[in-house]
Structure 1
Amino acid sequence: LIFLESFSAPAMVLEIGGKEITMPVDWSLAVGDSGGAGEIEILPLTSLNDRGFEAFLFNPLTSYTLNWGPVKITNFYNDVKWYFPKMKNGQLLATPITDGKDPLCAYFVKDISRQSEMIDYGALI
């Protein structure tokens, strides 16, 4: 990585598909509904609790099918020091939630231009 940015921000502990991950509260997550049309939407983490959304899980290097995992907020932290790659507005950050050779990745976004964005997952495959 060429550029890393560091900042302090509150954190949210999420359980995605039974795996725990901690992310800054002001970020957003790619979510959808496995039983629906397969549309992927970007929603703020603060809007997810107890609303039945499922996280979009996909390994960009080896996957050809979409996976979904239930999202549950389990904890909050007031102040955490973060180190992230420098990203442009609207760029997705693929974050592995499992270990191993072919990990499933959840997709997070720091800044989006609108309240809600849709993703064309055909462009990812």
Structure 2
Amino acid sequence: MFLLNRNSLHRLPLDPADAEILGVAGADTVERFLSRRDNHLKTPLHALPAFASELGISAIHIKDEGFRLGLGSFKALGGAYVVFRPVLEEAGNRLGRPVDVADLDRPDVCAVAAAMTFACATDGNHGRSV
């Protein structure tokens, strides 16, 4: 089903903060964060040639996020990402300097993170990640 986006904000430029998070630089930051995990691998892409043939199209590929980082779901990735961003921001404020993803293992940044509490009102994959 195709539905037109009727939201009044559709096609307006993003707020600069949103553009930073959703743009190429934001994707690079996420990749640097996720690649810190020992079991970080590219998401497998599977071809479905029989299904594509049945639909009369040249190809269908699906991403299998089920085994990514051993979490069982891509949804679990978002929770961890949502938590690390305010940790970096708070660490930067407390330490008086910019704090990057690469600094997450530094003792001073870990001390800031240990003093923070996060909660999520679900026991699903996203909540477990938080």
Give the TM-score normalised by structure 1.
0.22
Query: Which one has a larger percent helix, Structure 1 or Structure 2?
Result: 2
If asked which structure has higher relative contact order (CA below 8 Å, sep 6+), I would say 1
User: Considering only CA atoms, is the larger Rg found in Structure 1 or Structure 2?
Assistant: 2
